[in-house]
Structure 1
Amino acid sequence: MAAVKVGISACLLGDKVRYDGGHKRSSFCQDELAQHVEFVKLCPEVGIGLPVPRPTIRLEQSESGVQAVIPKTGDNVTEPLREFADKAKPKLNQISGYVLCAKSPSCGMERVKLYDPETGHARKEGEGIFTTRLRELFPALPLEEDGRLNDPLLRENFVMRVYVYAAWQALPQPVTKAALIEFHSRLKLLLLAHSQPVYRQLGPWLANLNQPRTEDCNYYLQQVMDALGKPASKRNHTNVLQHIQGYFKNQLSDRQKQELADLILGYREGVEPLMAPLTMIKHYLREHPQPYLDSQLYLDPYPNNLKLRYGL
Structure 2
Amino acid sequence: MAVKIGISACVLGDKVRFDGGHKASTFCTQQLQPLVQYVAVCPEQAIGMGVPRPAIRLQRDTQQQIRLVQSRDNSLDYTEQMLDYTAQMLPRFAELSGYIVCAKSPTCGMERVKLYDTEGNALGKLAVGVYTRQLMQAYPWLPVEEDGRLLDPALKENFVSRVFACHDFQKTMRDGFSIGKLVAFHSRYKFLVMAHSPVAYHQLGKLVAEAKLFQPAELQLRYLTELMQAMRNIATRKQHANVLQHLQGFLKKLMDSAARQELAELINRYRCGRVPLLAPVTLLQHYLRLYPNNYLQQQVYFNPYPEQLGLRA
TM-score (norm 1): 0.96
Aligned to 1:181: 183
Report the Cα offset of residue 83 of structure 1.
2.2
Alignment-derived partner of residue 93 in structure 2: 92
Aligned to 2:299: 296
Query: For residues 90 and 201 of structure 1, do their structure 2 counterparts lie closer, same or farther at Cα, with a shift above 3 Å needed?
Result: closer
Q: How does 1:113-128 map to 2 (within 5 A)?
A: 113-118=114-119, 120-128=121-129
Question: 2:69 corresponds to which letter in structure 1?
Answer: V
Q: Distance in 1 between matches of 2:215 and 2:205?
A: 14
Displacement of 1:139 in angstroms is: 0.8
Give the gaps of 5 or more residues in structure 1: none
Alpha-carbon contact 1:177-1:212 (below 8 Å) kept = no
Name the TM-score, length of structure 2 as normaliser. 0.95
| One-letter amino acid of the structure 1 residue matched with residue 30 of structure 2 | D
AA aligned to 2:115 is L
Aligned to 2:203: 201
* Distance apart, 1:212 and its partner CA: 4.1
Give 1:67 deviation, angstroms: 1.0
Deviations 1:161-220 (A, max 9, x none): 000000111123431111111111111001111111111122122212216421222111
For the pair 1:222 / 2:225, whether they are aligned, the reply is yes
CA–CA separation in structure 1 for the residues paired with 2:215 and 2:189 = 18
Q: 1:212 to 1:258 in 2, by over 3 A?
A: farther
SS of residue paired to 2:273? coil
1:1-312 to 2 correspondence within 5 Å? 2-62=1-61, 63-73=63-73, 74-118=75-119, 120-170=121-171, 171-210=173-212, 212-310=215-313
Q: Distance in 2 between matches of 1:80 and 1:217?
A: 33
CA separation in 2, counterparts of 1:221 and 1:53?
A: 40
Residue deviations 1:104-142 (CA, integer Å, cap 9, x gap): 000001111000113522311111000001011111100
SS where residue 22 of structure 1 aligns?
Answer: coil
Residue type of the alignment partner of 2:208: L
Q: Is the 8 A contact 1:175 1:212 kept in 2?
A: no
Secondary structure, aligned partner of 2:115: strand
- Percentage of identical aligned residues: 46
* Number of corresponding residues: 309
Q: CA deviation at 1:249?
A: 1.3
Residues 207 and 223 in structure 2, CA contact (< 8 A), matched pair in contact too: no
Cα distance in structure 1, aligned partners of 2:65 and 2:297: 50
1:85 CA drift (Å) = 2.1
